[in-house]
Structures are given as structure tokens and as C-alpha cells.
Amino acid sequence: MTEPVFNGWGSCEVCGKPIARPKEATISVCLKRVDAYEETYKEWEAHNVEHIGKGMDITRGYEGHPDRVEWMVTHAGCACPGCDAECGCDYWFACDRFDSLAKVLAWTLHLQEKTWLDSTDWERLVRRLYRLPSA
């Protein structure tokens, strides 16, 4: 495997403008959407309980499985879609705290203590920002 390379911040996922200064941008996830996902997942799981544990990967592409909540890279002033900037629903940190593999590891270990991490697409974010292929 080749050494991971930082892919750059790209553009804000809300306004579409380039992210020029990482200290003025954030990586965030909407906790209101996490709560909604967890409710939807419980309903899906109850409906599909007979398939769980039969060697089937129920988290990837299984019919009707809800999509995990996306982590977003945005300008600090851009609220997540469907929320206003003052709602306080986001869990966020500044992009400059995610610009090395050591920082990514530290954040991953920190976030693993959160009960809601598996409801998000954290892995997709890391793979996208560091040009890592899917497993």
C-alpha cells in the first residue's frame, strides 16, 4: 500500500466556494441527522431482523438500509443544509486539526468514544481527504 497523501480541502460542501484557509473551515456532522438516522435504522433493523447475522453485510447497499450521516467540510459560517447557523446541532472541529495522519488518528480514537460514530460516514471522509481506496 502506498503512503496516504492529503487530498486538500476542496470546496465548501454548503456554499461551493473554495476553502482557502483551513483555520476558517470546519469538519462537522449534524447531530440532529444522527438522531434521525438512528431512529430510521432501528425501524429498518426491526423489519429486517431475520437477515441480521446470516453473513450478510447489512450496512452496505442492502435494500432499504438508511444511509449514514455525512461528515461535511464547510466554511465555519456555513450551516449544515436544513439547519440555521444558530441551531447548535453540529459536532465540529477546525480543519487545521485534521491536516496530518497523526491528527486523523487522534480524532478517530476520540470519536470512537462517541456512541453515535457508527451512524456517520467517518471512514468515507478520511478515505476521501487522504486518497485511501475502499477496503
Domain spans of the chain, in order of start: 22-129
Q: 111-117 long-range contacts, Cβ below 8 Å, gap at least 24?
A: 116/31, 116/34, 116/38
d(CA 128, CA 135): 13
* Tens-binned pLDDT, residue by residue, of the chain (135 aa): 677 888 888 999 989 999 988 888 999 999 989 999 999 989 888 877 766 666 555 554 466 778 999 999 999 888 676 665 556 668 989 999 998 999 999 999 999 999 999 999 999 999 999 988 877
The DSSP secondary-structure symbol of 4 reads P
Q: How far apart are CA 9 and CA 27, in angstroms?
A: 10
Residue-level pLDDT at 61: 46
Report the run of H or E that residue 72 belongs to, with start and end. Answer: strand 72-75
CA distance 14 to 22: 15
